[in-house]
C-alpha cells in the first residue's frame, strides 16, 4: 500500500504537467496558430510539396534543420535563463518578415493569455521563448514541454497542408505518427540547451517563407 501511495504521488504531478501542456499548446489556446503555414503554402504552390511523402520529408527537414529545430533551442534556452538576448536573438533569427510576425504575434497572445489565467507577467516575448519561460515558471518538465511544442508545431503544419492538398485526415495522422520518434529524440537532445546550440540550414523553407510575402493568392498569413 505504501508503494502504491508513493507511485501515485510521483505520477500525479506528471499528469498535471501533461494536462497543463496540452492546454497551453492546444489549438484552442488563443494564439492564432491556425493562421500560419511557416512558408508551407508557397511550397505547395511551387509543387515542392504535393503529396504525403513530400510533406513528411518537408516536416522532417524542419525538425532536423529548420524552424522546429531552432524553436526547440530557443525554448530550452529560455527555460534555462532569463537573459533578454534570447528573445532578441530569436527575433533576429526569423528568416522573413512574415516569420517574425508569426512568432511575435503568437508570442504576444500567448503571454497575455498566460497572464490572464495564471497571473504571471512574463513580458512580451516571441512564441518559443514565451513557452520556455512559462514552462520554467510553472515548473513543467523541459523535455516534455519541448516534445509537446514540437508535436503542436508539426500538427499545425499538417493541418495547414490538409487545407492546401488533397490530403486526408488519416494520411495526416500517419505522418504525425511517423514523426513522433524524431520529435522525442530532439526533445531529449535539447535539454539544457543554450544559444550556443543554435543552427539552421533548411534554406528552401526560408526561401518559401520569403516568397510567400509576395504570393498573389494566399490563405495563410505566412
Question: 2-40: per-residue pLDDT in tens?
Answer: 444 444 444 666 899 999 999 999 999 999 999 999 999
Tens of pLDDT, residues 104-160: 999 999 999 999 999 999 999 999 999 999 999 999 999 999 999 999 999 999 999
What does the pLDDT read at residue 12? Answer: 61
- Global pTM value: 0.93
What pLDDT does 9 receive? Answer: 47
What's the farthest any 2 CA atoms get from each other in the chain?
Answer: 66
Is residue 90 a contact partner of residue 51, using CB atoms and an 8 Å limit?
Answer: no
C-alpha 110/C-alpha 127 separation (Å) is 7
Spatial contact of 88 and 107, defined as CB atoms under 8 Å apart: no
Tell me the helix, strand and coil percentages in the chain, rounded to 5: 70, 0, 30
Go through the domains of the chain in sequence order and give each one's CATH number: 35-212 (1.10.4190.10)
Amino acid at each position: 500500500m505504501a508503494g502504491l501511495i508513493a507511485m501515485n504521488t510521483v505520477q500525479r504531478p506528471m499528469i498535471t504537467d501533461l494536462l497543463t501542456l496540452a492546454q497551453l499548446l492546444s489549438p484552442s489556446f488563443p494564439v492564432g496558430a491556425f493562421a500560419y503555414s511557416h512558408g508551407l503554402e508557397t511550397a505547395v504552390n511551387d509543387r515542392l510539396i504535393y503529396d504525403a511523402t513530400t510533406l513528411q520529408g518537408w516536416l522532417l527537414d524542419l525538425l532536423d534543420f529548420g524552424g522546429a529545430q531552432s524553436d526547440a533551442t530557443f525554448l530550452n534556452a529560455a527555460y534555462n535563463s532569463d537573459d533578454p538576448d534570447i528573445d532578441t536573438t530569436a527575433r533576429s533569427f526569423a528568416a522573413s518578415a512574415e516569420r517574425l510576425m508569426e512568432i511575435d504575434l503568437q508570442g504576444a497572445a500567448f503571454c497575455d493569455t498566460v497572464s490572464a489565467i495564471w497571473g504571471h507577467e512574463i513580458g512580451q516575448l516571441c512564441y518559443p521563448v514565451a513557452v520556455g519561460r512559462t514552462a520554467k515558471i510553472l515548473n513543467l518538465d523541459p523535455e516534455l514541454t519541448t516534445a509537446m511544442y514540437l508535436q503542436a508545431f508539426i500538427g499545425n503544419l499538417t493541418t495547414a497542408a490538409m487545407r492546401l492538398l488533397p490530403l486526408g485526415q488519416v494520411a495526416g495522422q500517419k505522418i504525425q505518427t511517423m514523426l513522433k520518434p524524431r520529435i522525442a529524440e530532439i526533445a531529449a537532445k535539447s535539454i539544457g540547451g543554450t544559444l550556443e546550440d543554435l543552427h539552421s540550414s533548411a534554406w528552401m523553407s526560408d526561401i518559401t517563407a520569403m516568397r510567400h510575402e509576395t504570393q498573389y493568392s494566399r490563405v495563410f498569413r505566412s
